[in-house]
Amino acid sequence: MRHNLVCQTPPSVTVHVKLSASRSHQQKNLIRLKRPTFKDRHEKCEKKTPSHKYKHPKGPCLVIQRQEMTAFFKLFDDDLIQDFLWMDCCCKIADKYLLAMTFVYFKRANFTINEHTRINFFVALYLANTVEEDDEESKYDIFPWALGKTWRKLFPDFLKLRDQLWSRIDYRAIVSRRCCEEVMAIAPTHYIWQRERSMLHSGAVRNYNKEEVQLPRGPSATPVDCLLCGKKGRFVGLGLSSSSSSSTGTFEMMETHLSQDLKDTLPTEKMMVDSPFSYAQ
């Protein structure tokens, strides 16, 4: 399913980020250590001016440039990513808030325009699902879409890339709802911000009957019908167009070279990962 809508974005936008509890506590400690002496306070009182003229928003900010948002939107011209979003018809893996978190991760990691790639998109989206979602199995469907047919061999390296991104954003993986909404407000007409999740899929839902659906299903399987909201699973065939970025030749080439590329970019330190051991078998 193709979406070729063009959205106009402003040259630059400032998004306010809420401080975490630990960082605000550290800031308060610094303020206590830097209290002015009695003389300094007396001089400041004499030069005191109305405070309403110099009010600034508290907390760190993200300054978003037009080319950064444009590069992020260009990711959704990728046929494979479009098919992935089409498969996720209930928006359980990639709703508008998780996609906004993905963009914030790109900003916090200081990704260049050239780093706005398919693999980085899936890594950031997986991290967002790990942070926000209670359903631990739905996010595993990212593996076959990001890594291809040999995902069982490559997903440990994928998890290491997730930890590398987590380290690169200084472990600040929490994104406030206000920050997500300010990001979406930059270009509110883009179709990815219309991916609303149904209230039937909100809250913590547990599936104790693990034999009903085998996850992940991947691009080659027809998505199952949703028992909660009634949406029908829609099959997506890959490689239908010779110009498609997800054509068979390109997809197999990515599978061949991905393992070596991952090894070249991974850090040497070991980090704790969560691995779907039942699917690795």
Burial (Cβ within 10 Å: 0-12, 13-18, ≥19) of residue 69: buried
The two tokens of residue 208 are: 């104790």
How confident is residue 149, by pLDDT bands cut at 50, 70 and 90? very high
Q: How far apart are CA 223 and CA 198, in angstroms?
A: 17
Burial (Cβ within 10 Å: 0-12, 13-18, ≥19) of residue 122: buried
How confident is residue 240, by pLDDT bands cut at 50, 70 and 90? very low
Residue 137 phi, psi dihedral angles, 5° rounding: -95, -30
- Domain range summary for the chain, segments of one domain joined by +: 67-197
Q: Please tell me the predicted confidence (pLDDT) of residue 199.
A: 72
Residue 210: C-alpha distances to residues 214, 215, 228, 255, 278 (Å): 7, 9, 16, 29, 11
Query: What is the reported pTM?
Result: 0.62
Residue 61 pLDDT more than 60? Answer: yes
Mean pLDDT over residues 222-250, rounded?
Answer: 50
Average pLDDT, the chain: 73
By three-state DSSP, how is residue 279 classified?
helix
Higher pLDDT, 89 or 60: 89
Q: How far apart are CA 5 and CA 82, in angstroms?
A: 13
Most confident of the following: 13-27, 45-59, 125-139: 125-139
Q: How far apart are CA 80 and CA 28, in angstroms?
A: 47
Higher pLDDT, 239 or 71: 71
From start to end of the chain, where are the E strands?
Answer: 12-16, 61-65
Residue 70: C-alpha distances to residues 23, 92, 216, 279 (Å): 31, 25, 31, 36
Torsion angle of the four alpha carbons 28, 29, 30, 32, in this order, in degrees rounded to the nearest 10: 90
pLDDT tens column, 115-138: 999 999 999 999 999 999 988 888
Q: How far apart are CA 72 and CA 52, in angstroms?
A: 37
pLDDT tens column, 157-216: 999 999 999 999 999 999 999 999 999 999 999 999 999 987 765 655 555 555 555 667
Per DSSP, 3 falls in state -
Nearest CA-CA partner of 106 in 96, 117, 97? 117
